[in-house]
Structure 1
Amino acid sequence: MSDTTNETTNGTAVGPDRKVALVTGANKGIGYEIAAGLGALGWAVGVGARDEARREAAVEKLRAAGVDAFGVPLDVTDDASVAGAARVVEERAGRLDVLVNNAGITGGGPQDPTTVDVDRVRAAVETNVIGVIRVTNALLPLLRRSASPRIVNVSSSVGSLTLQTKPGAQVGPVAVAYSPSKTFLNAVTVQYAKELAGTGVLINAVCPGYVATDLNAFQGVRTPEQGAIAAIRLSTIPDDGPHGRFFDEDGEVPW
């Protein structure tokens, strides 16, 4: 369910010359570093997160670093919460220049397809796919008010069917909930790209790499700062930049 706190409404309105971003799941890990990176560029950044205490702590930390950050109560699996998040952004900025759909879950384990608890699959899809659709559609009216709107969906190379089926490739463990949810997200990104072609709204997917976060018990080999690089880059592409494609820090990733 959605919640409200004073910090979501405190602060001055964002001026017309400052870019505005909303990052979901931005209270920690990769999402936080994406917010910090965009903030360092002088952007106003909405910290989307469902946990009130962690959201407030992230906003305070960003503000202490000089970022114009504001909290956005947001549970991507809840219609009312997402609608409330759109209202917070509209009240604070009146528009949105970049939406980074970063919030995600693994679905828990084990995830062997022959024995999996189907509720794990359902939960992964609800957050990683349906949540992205829910948030994107709610924020699109604000994105359309931007001169250069961008949408970045944080995916993973484990969602690449090309890589998953390449002989000898090592692309994550067997995971019938998480990996296919990212494949689904990639397919959804392509469908949005087809519908939004020619509208000025550029949408792309990004793989942050194997980042040490609580999703993998901090076993990843990359830092959250490194994981944020590609998403920040895609948030700031020019009007003739890529659309409907999949990237990591090193370049394009095959679907």
Structure 2
Amino acid sequence: MNASAPVVNSYFERIDEHRYKPTAHVGGAWNTEEQHFSPLGGLITHAIDRHQAERPGAGMVMSRISFDILGRLALDECEVRVETVRPGRTIELVEATVLIAGRPVVRARAWFLAVLDTSAVAGGGAERLTPPDELAPWSMASVWPGGYIASLDARPLAPPQPGRATTWVSTGVELVAGERAGGVASFIALVDTANGIAVRQPPTAWMFPNVDLTIHLHRLPEGRWAGLDTTVVFGPTGQGITSTVLHDVAGPVGHAQQILTVRPLGD
């Protein structure tokens, strides 16, 4: 696949019920011949949404999803398999596995909780961010290569600092060609970008890819923008953490955490 010449305006094209072909828009930042995890995370969520829609007792919402990245995300056809591992009327646990060339490369688990009216006691989140339409665009391609980064509209609230940035991101690229993705899947397709907006060290000298992503939501996100209020910490023994307060234009919606493997480039 030629990762420099996108031919469709989507991250994936459906092959059949479970298989998808990534487009060049999915090209990674650490390696442009691999998939950036952000759109793949959205695809997994989209597959889980489709699985849930086919089950009886709709009315629960995704409240947590965790992804473990098990291996190389080649820019090749992928298969997404979903199963319910803990069914219930008010709480369900769903698991998804992504396979490339027959090998598991990602496992995800999502908790769904029943919808109740708790508006009378809602509160406690962070302050709303300055809306994206009041901010100037920033070219993330000045820091990172790859088709995914090139597909983004990024708007920081202030110039990013080492280990600290607050940035809105959105995209005009469909998740799956010809399919309408839900709001949560479209939002999650942007969240893994957080590890690239507040770099502590130049990615030309240091590697700090994440091996997981865990997202907790206290409210379902709405709209096309994901606000990433991100802090990155490197420890002294090769580990790091990217922590993000997640926003939509109406305010905070949850939190994301990523564990990083930190090492000098070339190791």
Q: TM-score, normalised by structure 1?
A: 0.30
Higher helix share: 1
Higher strand share: 2
